[in-house]
Chains A and B, each alone.
Chain A
Amino acid sequence: MGNPDSRSPEQRWNQLHLAESRLSRRDLLAKCAALGVLAVVPSLSLADALDAWDRQQGRTPTPWNELGPFYRKGAPRTTQLRAPGDRGMPLSVSGRVFDTRGDIVPGATLEIWHTNDAGQYDLSGYHYRTSLVAEANGSYAFESIMPGHYPARVCQHVHYLVRAPGHKLLTTQLYFATDPVFEGNPDRNYTKDPLIQSRELVRPVALAPRGGNVTASVSFEVVLERA
């Protein structure tokens, strides 16, 4: 066992807040809950509590990132981007679409694409490309593989193009905290990719066993600005 933490909750909060000031409020609160600095009554899930908080406080829009040079229109609507036998670590991505008031945005269209395990885009077809529609509760999810490193870019990434009536169009990219480029410290090293102008786009990765393999899971919530 490691040394017990002798700091008071206030000291831990202050240190956390200073160190993680570039995280979104939601990420910060989730970390606080994990560290025991923030407690939620048993009758309420952490996710529901954070949602309620966001509805009260509003949300900041998901940071912009460029569309990237290999977008293709007309991707099929599929939640299964991974084909049998595909190389690469299985990846599950899920999240919800909100607006800046914290309200769910049902029916948003999320066009998502990324490279294969070798860092190559499919330029003639739709492998690792999908066009999803957010459910009534704003949720979306897909199964894929962890993308490789595209040679002209620094970090592994997944492209998003999100549209919803009455909201500003969003282009952004999802990054992985486990990317070797970050050397285990995305807080310090996320700017190694100059395109990452916000730490918020670098998402924690949870590894879980599934069917004899290990699957990486990532949550990526999207917050749209009203038009």
Chain B
Amino acid sequence: MRRIALTFAVVANSATVGAQQPSETRLEAPSPLVMTVLSRSNGIVAGASIDHKLRVWDSRSRKLTHTIDLAGRDVAWSAISDDGRLVLVADYAARVTIWNTATGRVEWEFKTPHYLTAAAFSRDGHLLAIAPGTPVQLYDVGSRRLIRELETTVGTTSVVFSRNGTSLASTDGDGVRIYDAGSGKLMARNLDFVSEPLAIDYAIDGKTVFAGGGDGTVLSIDSKTGGTIRRSVKLTDPVFYAETSPNGRETAVVTQNADDPQRPAPVVFVDVGSLATKFSWASPAGVLLPGATWTSDGHFIVATQTPGALHVWTIRF
């Protein structure tokens, strides 16, 4: 998740149609956050703050479990494994650190050519993809070994593994690229974006990818050929994150106000087949922080903040 400008703006309107009213989990946040990551299972939340601390919460018990000193490091990107066991923090000095959230200890640390502009764990946590300004790199998490580098891209903005980890998709200034994760071979490309795509995810069967970007449109793309299947209507704001629900029916599209990220922008849930908007949701308290996700049991969770508090919203279906 990329960091955002700090904000406490309040959204006036909240609209949730087609889902139950979201529930809120309020966590004490002693310092304003610049990024958060939310695990898909086990309720782990991690956030870096302007006091250069990484805090880890258990959202189920609402307890702060670890406060880790980042020693003045400015966070460029963060990621979390599905089970919440590993949290990756990359700083602008091109240092990547992965902590074990159970112990609060460093598991792995390494330098990269430049700071990261994207990172993602595979769903099983065995692989890690990072974009350090140069070609995307694939690491084996268990052995901490660089497996391979993919081809050079025009500024990678997001990476994601397919559900079974056999395929990897990325977005960059040219468009969308889909690779075989095992061989690193480029399998397909889509160059139909004019404005740079910024977010991508697979359908649960891996046959389609959904990508969105600066112009506020979402494309469904055949992951075998790279061809565009469908293009959504233009949303009001650029798309910064996209993720398909575990039941495969919706893709959650997190938008951000382009002119001022401190102004509110909604999460839009689109039908994976038609790309029509099913409903949208805007936070009633605080602007979205980076780090939304679908939980493994089928809810969408997203974080906002107000002074002194981190709010985790659960949208139930």
Task: Mark A residues whose CB is within 8 Å of B.
Answer: 64, 66-74, 119-121, 123-124, 151-153, 161, 168-169, 171, 194-195, 197
Main SS of chain B's interface residues? loop
Q: What is the bound-complex CA distance between A123 and B157, given in angstroms?
A: 17
Can you name 26 A-B pairs with beta carbons within 8 Å?
A: A64-B113, A64-B114, A64-B133, A66-B115, A66-B117, A66-B133, A67-B117, A67-B157, A68-B155, A70-B195, A71-B154, A71-B155, A71-B196, A72-B194, A73-B195, A123-B214, A123-B216, A124-B215, A151-B259, A151-B260, A151-B261, A153-B5, A168-B152, A194-B74, A197-B92, A197-B115
Q: Known contacts being A67-B173, A123-B214, is A151 close to B262, with CB within 8 Å?
A: yes
Task: Mark B residues whose CB is within 8 Å of A.
Answer: 4-5, 74, 76, 92-94, 113-115, 117, 133, 152, 154-155, 157, 172-174, 193-196, 198, 214-216, 238, 240, 258-262
By the criterion CB–CB under 8 Å, are A161 and B117 in contact? no
Contacts of A72 in B (CB 8 A): 194-196, 214
By the criterion CB–CB under 8 Å, are B238 and A69 in contact? yes
Question: Smallest distance from the beta carbon of A16 to chain B beta carbons, Å?
Answer: 26
Q: What is the bound-complex CA distance between A71 and B115, given in angstroms?
A: 19
Q: What is the bound-complex CA distance between A166 and B290, given in angstroms?
A: 38
By the criterion CB–CB under 8 Å, are A71 and B76 in contact? no
Contacts of B157 in A (CB 8 A): 67, 69
Contacts of A152 in B (CB 8 A): 4-5, 260-261
Contacts of B74 in A (CB 8 A): 194
Q: What is the bound-complex CA distance between A70 and B172, given in angstroms?
A: 11
By the criterion CB–CB under 8 Å, are B195 and A67 in contact? no
**Central interface residue in B74, B94, B113, by most chain A CB within 10 Å:** B74
Contacts of B258 in A (CB 8 A): 70, 120-121, 123
By the criterion CB–CB under 8 Å, are B154 and A169 in contact? yes
Contacts of B113 in A (CB 8 A): 64
Closest B residue by C-beta to A118 = B259
Closest B residue by C-beta to A68 = B155
By the criterion CB–CB under 8 Å, are A197 and B93 in contact? yes
By the criterion CB–CB under 8 Å, are A151 and B152 in contact? no
Q: What is the bound-complex CA distance between A121 and B260, given in angstroms?
A: 10
Question: Smallest distance from the beta carbon of A126 to chain B beta carbons, Å?
Answer: 10
Q: Known contacts being A72-B194, A151-B5, is A194 close to B238, with CB within 8 Å?
A: no
Closest A residue by C-beta to B196 = A71
